[in-house]
Amino acid sequence: MTRAPACLLSILLAAGAHAHAAAASVPGAIRVNQLGFLPQAHKVAVLPAGAAGEVEVIDAASGAVAWRGRAGPAAVWSESGETVMLADFSALTRPGDYRIRAAGAAASEPFAVRAGVYADLNRAALKAFYFNRSGMALDAAHAGVYARAAGHPDMRVLVHASAASKARPEGTVIASPKGWYDAGDYNKYIVNSGISTYTLLAAFEHFPDYFARQRSAIPESGNTLPDILDEALWNLEWMLTMQDPHDGGVYNKLTNQRFDGIVMPAQASSEARYVVQKGTAAALDFAATMAAASRVLKPYEQQRPGLSAKMLRAAEAAWEWARANPAVAFRNPPGVVTGEYGDATFEDEFAWAAAELYISSGKDSYYAAMKPAGVTASVPEWADVRGLAWISLAHHRNSLSAVADQSLIAARIDGLAAALTAKWRASAYGVAMQGTDFVWGSNAVALNQSMMLLQAYRLNGKRDYLDAAQAGLDYVLGRNATAYSFVTGFGARQVRHPHHRPSMADQVAAPVPGFLAGGPHAGQQDKGDCKAQYPSALPALSYIDDDCSYASNEVAINWNAPLVYVSAALDVLGGAAP
C-alpha cells in the first residue's frame, strides 16, 4: 500500500499513545491454528527442531491421548530463520478440544475439531465492516460495548480543484454518505472499496446457502436480504455517489486533506471533506464492482426495485469514461496527504471490468475487450485485480456465451493454483508464503492465495488445492513465526493493539473484534516511530502488536474481505471433503 507517509502523520497526531511489548517468536512453542479444524480438514502443526519426533494430540481437558504420530524431517524456513518440523495429524477426525505436545517443546495453544468451526470467525469478520461504517451511529443493541456516535455524515462534500469539471466546478457541494472507513483511518477510497466489496459479493455468489443462514446482528438482520448483501450495500450505495453523473467518471477518494487524529469518529476534525480527482483505476474498479453487484442483486428486484439495472448502467458509463481516458494515473494533489492507492498500470483493471461486464450484460464485445489470451492470473491485491476476472469467469463458466474460451479459463485458474501448491509443498512451514509476500498487509496475501486455490478446487476437486488453502487460514490463526492469531478476538494468543482509531480511542480494553491485522512486513516503514521495536529484520518476524505500528498492525477492509471469503469457503468445502 502507499499509505506510509500519511500514516506517519497520524502517529504524530496520536498524543499519549501507549507503546506495547513487541511481538516475538515464542521459543520452543508448537504452532497450530488456534481456532481449529473441520473433522475432515488437513491438520498440521509446526514444531521447533529441538522437539522429539514423536507427537501426541491430547484432549485439552483430560489429557488423554487422541492421536499419536511422528513429525517430518527438520528444515529451515529462511523467512523466519527457524529450523522446524511439520506434524500432520489429519487422521484425527473425532470432534473435541485438543492440544499438541512433544518432548522438548512447549505444548500448543488449545484448538477445536468440529463441524462449522469457522462460523463465529466468519460472522465476526463480516461484522467488522459494520463496525467501520461511516456516517452511522452504532447502537448498543448491535455494537455492545463498541457503541459509538456517528461521524463523517458526508452530506456536504466539496469537489476538490483536482476533480473540478465544467458541470461540477471547484467547490461544488455534493452528498456522498455511507460507505466504510477504509482502514485504521476515516477516509473512503474507491480503488480499495472495489476489491473489498467484490470479494464479499463473490463470497455470497459462490456460497449463497451459507450466507442466507447467517445472522451477524447488524441493524438490517432479519430483513429480506442476507446480511452480507445488506453490508455490501452500505458501501455500494456510497460508491454510486462517487460517480460524476455528467460524464461517468469516478472520483478516486472522499477524504480530509490530512488524516484525523486518534479520536472517535464523532470527535474527528471538522475540516472540509473532498472528492478528489477522477482516475482510470477508480473508474474501472467501480465498473467491475457495479457490474458484479448488478447480477448478484438482480434476484432481489422486489426488495430493491431498479437497483440492479441502475448499477449496470453506472458500470457501463464508467467503462466508457475509462476507454476515453485510458491512462489517468492518480497521485495526491498538493495539500492532500491521505492514502493514495496510486496505480499507473491499468491492463488488469481493464481486464477485470471487461470480464464482469461481459458476464452481467451478456455482450460478447466485452469479452473481446478483455483480450483474455494476454491476461495471466495472479494473487489479487488492490493494485493487481487480474485474478478477480478469472474468478468470475470460472464461476459462471457454464452460462457463458460461445466466445468464452473454457479451456483458457480453467488453465489460468489451475496454473496459478499449481504454482502456489508447489510453494506450499516446498515450505518448511507448510505455507505458500515466501519472502516477497511479506508486504504491507501480508496476512491478506496469505488469504488471497487461499482464495485462488479454492477456485481451482471448486473447478477440479484436487485435494492438494483445498489443503494448501487451509494452510493460509492456519497461518493467520496462529501457525506462523510470531505465534499470534492475527484476528482480533480469536485465538489464545491474539492481536490486542491494532492500529485502528476506534479501537485506540474508545476506552474499551479489548479491540473491536473480527479485524485481521496486516501482519509481518519486511519494509518496517514505521521503524523508529514506535517505542516498541521489531524483534527481527527477517520478513516473517517483522511484526509488532502495537497500535503505533501502522506498517504491520493496521486493519483494512481489503484484508478482512478475503478472511470472510476463505472462512466461509472452508466451512462449506472442507465439510464436504472426502
User: What's the angle, vertex CA 228, arms to CA 225 and CA 231, rounded to 5?
Assistant: 95
Residue 32 near residue 46 (C-beta atoms within 8 A): yes
Which one-letter amino acid corresponds to residue 442? S
Q: Is 246 a catalytic residue?
A: no
List 82, 185, 343, 348, catalytic entry: 185
Nearest to 439 by CA among 545, 567, 543: 543
Q: Does residue 220 have an active-site annotation?
A: no
* CA atoms of 53 and 289, how far apart (whole Å): 50
Q: Is 545 a catalytic residue?
A: yes
Q: Judge whether 554 counts as a catalytic residue.
A: yes
What cell does 229 get?
A: 448483501
Question: For residues 291 and 182, what is the distance between their CA atoms, to the nearest angstrom?
Answer: 21
Give the Cα separation of 457 and 434 in Å (integer). 22
Residue 578 · residue 212 · CB < 8 Å: no
String of DSSP letters for 319-361: HHHHHHSTT----PPTT--S--------HHHHHHHHHHHHHHH
Q: What is the residue whose three cell numbers read 449463497? A: 208
Which residue among the candidates 82, 381, 554, 571 is catalytic per the annotation? 554
d(Cα 474, Cα 206) in Å, to the nearest integer? Answer: 22
56, 437, 545, 571: which is the annotated catalytic residue? 545
Count of CB atoms within 10 A of residue 140's CB? 10
Residues 6+ apart with CB under 8 A from 209: none
Contact 472, 432 (CB under 8 A): yes
Active-site entry in 499, 500, 521, 571? 499
Catalytic residues: 185, 499, 545, 554
